[in-house]
């Protein structure tokens, strides 16, 4: 007697979290491989409770602002899709969180623009409880 009922869990078919992370890390590296085509970027890295980020744009003025907003919108969309919530919720939560995280250092040693207009920021992602 055969049983046609599939009792397998679809989650069992998904790659382990480490494998998925490694795949996405490789994708991120591939995006940066041909820097000649890149006109703007924003990269953030979380290590424990520390967040380091860098942003760079080749353009100036209004175009640079539009590229920055486009990158932000893309990040919000990605987070919303991963969380299964609407973009407005993620944007509101991000705005609220932005007011709670420690200020990013502004000293020349951590926030010096380079010749391409790149800017590196480092900050503590822990909420300010004071």
Domain span at 65? 56-106+116-130
pLDDT one-digit tens code per residue, 56-82? 889 998 999 899 899 999 999 999 999
Residue 31 forms part of a structural domain: no
- Residues in the chain, overall count: 130
More confident residue, 116 or 44: 44
Residue 73 forms part of a structural domain: yes
CA 120 to chain centroid? 14
Residue 5 forms part of a structural domain: no
pLDDT (average), residues 101-124: 47
Residue 111 forms part of a structural domain: no
Does residue 101 contact residue 123 with C-beta atoms inside 8 Å?
A: yes
Whole-angstrom Cα distance, residue 116 to residue 55?
10
**Residue 119 confidence (pLDDT) above 50:** no
Residue 11 forms part of a structural domain: no
Residue 30 forms part of a structural domain: no
Residue 48 forms part of a structural domain: no
Residue-level pLDDT at 77 = 94
**Residue 128 confidence (pLDDT) above 90:** no
Whole-angstrom Cα distance, residue 70 to residue 39?
12
Residue-level pLDDT at 97 = 87
Q: Which of 22-31, 76-85, 100-109, 111-120 has the lowest mean pLDDT?
A: 111-120
Residue-level pLDDT at 120 = 44
Domain total for the chain?
1
**DSSP E strand boundaries for 1-130:** 40-47, 50-57, 119-124
Residue-level pLDDT at 15 = 62
Averaged confidence pLDDT in the chain: 76
């Amino acid at each position: 007697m055969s049983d046609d009922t599939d009792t397998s869990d679809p989650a069992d078919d998904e790659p382990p979290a480490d494998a998925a992370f490694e795949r996405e890390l490789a994708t991120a590296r591939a995006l940066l491989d041909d820097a000649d085509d890149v006109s703007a970027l924003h990269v953030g890295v979380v290590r424990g409770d520390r967040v380091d980020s860098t942003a760079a744009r080749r353009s100036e003025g209004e175009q640079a602002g539009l590229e920055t907003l486009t990158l932000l919108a893309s990040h919000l969309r990605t987070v919303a899709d991963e969380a299964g919530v609407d973009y407005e919720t993620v944007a509101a939560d991000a705005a609220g969180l932005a007011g709670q995280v420690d200020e990013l250092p502004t000293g020349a040693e951590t926030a010096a623009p380079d010749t391409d207009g790149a800017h590196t920021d480092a900050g503590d992602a822990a909420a300010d409880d004071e």
